[in-house]
Chains A and B, each alone.
Chain A
Amino acid sequence: MANKKNIVAEINPEIREALVEMGAVDAYKCYQCGKCASVCPWFQVGTYEFLVFRFPLETVLGLIASSEDKEELAKEVDKIYRCVGCEACVDQCPLGVKIPDILRSARRILVDFGSYPETLKSVVQKIRNVGNPLGEPRETRGDWAKELNVETYSADKELLYFPCCIPSYDDRISRVAKATSLILKHGGVSFGILGTRESCCGEAIRRAGAETVFNETAKANIQAFTEVGVKQILVSSPHCYVTFSKEYPELGGSFEPLHTTQYFWQLIENGKIRPNKSYEKKVVYHDPCTLGRQSGVYEEPRNILKSIPGLELLEVDDFSRNLSLCCGAGSGALWIDWPKGERMADIRIKQLVDTGAEVIAVACPYCLQMFEETVKAMNIDITVMDVCEILHESLSG
Chain B
Amino acid sequence: MELIVCIKRVPQTAEAEVKIDDSGKDIVKDRLTFDMNEADSYALEEAILLKEKFGGAITAVSLGTAEAEDTLRIALAKGADNAIRIKAEEFGELDGYKTAMIIKEAIKDLKFDAIFTGCMATDDSYYQVGPVLAETLGVPHATLVSKIELTDKKVHVNRELEGGLIEHLEMSLPAVFAVQTGINEPRYASLIAIRRAAAKEIKVLGKDDIASEPKLNSTLEELFVPPVGKRAEFLTGTADEVSARTAEIIKEKGLI
Are A and B a genuine interacting pair, yes or no? yes
> A122 vs B38: C-alpha distance in the bound complex, in angstroms?
13
User: Which residues of B sit under 8 angstroms from A68, Cβ to Cβ?
Assistant: 190, 192-193
Among A14, A113, A121, A126, max chain B CB count under 10 A is at A113
User: Which residues of A sit under 8 angstroms from B189, Cβ to Cβ?
Assistant: 110, 113-115
* A210 to B: closest C-beta gap in Å: 9
- The chain B residues found within 8 Å of chain A, CB to CB, are 12, 15-17, 31-33, 35-36, 73-74, 77, 187-195, 197
Whether A18 contacts B195 by the Cβ 8 Å rule is: yes
The 6 A-B pairs at the shortest CB distance, nearest first, are namely A115-B188, A129-B16, A65-B191, A70-B187, A115-B189, A125-B33
Among B77, B187, B190, B193, max chain A CB count under 10 A is at B190
Whether A129 contacts B188 by the Cβ 8 Å rule is: no
User: Which residues of A sit under 8 angstroms from B187, Cβ to Cβ?
Assistant: 70, 73-74
Whether B192 contacts A135 by the Cβ 8 Å rule is: no
Contact among B12, B36, B191, B197 with A15 in the assembled complex (CB-CB below 8 Å) = B191
Whether B35 contacts A14 by the Cβ 8 Å rule is: no
* B237 to A: closest C-beta gap in Å: 14
User: Which residues of A sit under 8 angstroms from B190, Cβ to Cβ?
Assistant: 65-68, 73, 76
Instruction: Identify 19 new A-B residue pairs, CB closer than 8 A, beyond the known A106-B191, A121-B12.
Output: A14-B192, A62-B191, A65-B191, A66-B191, A68-B192, A68-B193, A70-B187, A73-B190, A74-B187, A76-B190, A109-B194, A110-B191, A110-B194, A113-B77, A113-B194, A129-B17, A135-B17, A137-B17, A138-B17
* B192 to A: closest C-beta gap in Å: 5
Whether B32 contacts A135 by the Cβ 8 Å rule is: no
- The chain A residues found within 8 Å of chain B, CB to CB, are 12, 14-15, 18-19, 62, 64-68, 70, 73-74, 76-77, 106, 109-110, 112-116, 121-122, 124-126, 128-130, 135, 137-138, 213
User: Which residues of B sit under 8 angstroms from A74, Cβ to Cβ?
Assistant: 187-188
Contact among B33, B188, B192, B197 with A128 in the assembled complex (CB-CB below 8 Å) = B33
Number of A-B contacts defined by CB within 8 Å: 87
* A276 to B: closest C-beta gap in Å: 33
Whether B32 contacts A129 by the Cβ 8 Å rule is: yes
Among B15, B16, B31, B191, max chain A CB count under 10 A is at B191
> A121 vs B35: C-alpha distance in the bound complex, in angstroms?
10
> A274 vs B209: C-alpha distance in the bound complex, in angstroms?
78
Whether B192 contacts A114 by the Cβ 8 Å rule is: no
* Given the contacts A77-B188, A125-B12, A129-B17, A114 and B35 also touching, CB distance less than 8 Å: yes
* Given the contacts A73-B187, A114-B74, A126 and B15 also touching, CB distance less than 8 Å: yes
> A137 vs B31: C-alpha distance in the bound complex, in angstroms?
13
> A106 vs B17: C-alpha distance in the bound complex, in angstroms?
30
Whether A113 contacts B33 by the Cβ 8 Å rule is: no
> A314 vs B33: C-alpha distance in the bound complex, in angstroms?
46
> A115 vs B15: C-alpha distance in the bound complex, in angstroms?
19
> A166 vs B189: C-alpha distance in the bound complex, in angstroms?
32
User: Which residues of A sit under 8 angstroms from B74, Cβ to Cβ?
Assistant: 113-115
User: Which residues of B sit under 8 angstroms from A70, Cβ to Cβ?
Assistant: 187
* B241 to A: closest C-beta gap in Å: 15
User: Which residues of B sit under 8 angstroms from A122, Cβ to Cβ?
Assistant: 15
Name which residue of chain B comes closest to A210, CB basis. B33
Whether A15 contacts B188 by the Cβ 8 Å rule is: no
* B49 to A: closest C-beta gap in Å: 9
Whether B195 contacts A135 by the Cβ 8 Å rule is: no
> A128 vs B12: C-alpha distance in the bound complex, in angstroms?
11
Contact among B17, B31, B188 with A110 in the assembled complex (CB-CB below 8 Å) = B188
Q: Could you pull out 9 A-B pairs where Cβ atoms are within 8 angstroms?
A: A65-B190, A74-B188, A121-B35, A124-B33, A125-B15, A128-B31, A129-B15, A129-B16, A129-B32
Name which residue of chain A comes closest to B15, CB basis. A135
> A128 vs B190: C-alpha distance in the bound complex, in angstroms?
26
Whether A66 contacts B192 by the Cβ 8 Å rule is: yes
User: Which residues of B sit under 8 angstroms from A125, Cβ to Cβ?
Assistant: 12, 15-16, 32-33
* B14 to A: closest C-beta gap in Å: 8
Whether B195 contacts A114 by the Cβ 8 Å rule is: no
Whether B31 contacts A15 by the Cβ 8 Å rule is: no
Name which residue of chain A comes closest to B77, CB basis. A113
Among A15, A125, A130, A137, max chain B CB count under 10 A is at A125
> A128 vs B32: C-alpha distance in the bound complex, in angstroms?
6
User: Which residues of A sit under 8 angstroms from B33, Cβ to Cβ?
Assistant: 121, 124-125, 128-129, 213
> A125 vs B188: C-alpha distance in the bound complex, in angstroms?
18
User: Which residues of B sit under 8 angstroms from A66, Cβ to Cβ?
Assistant: 190-192
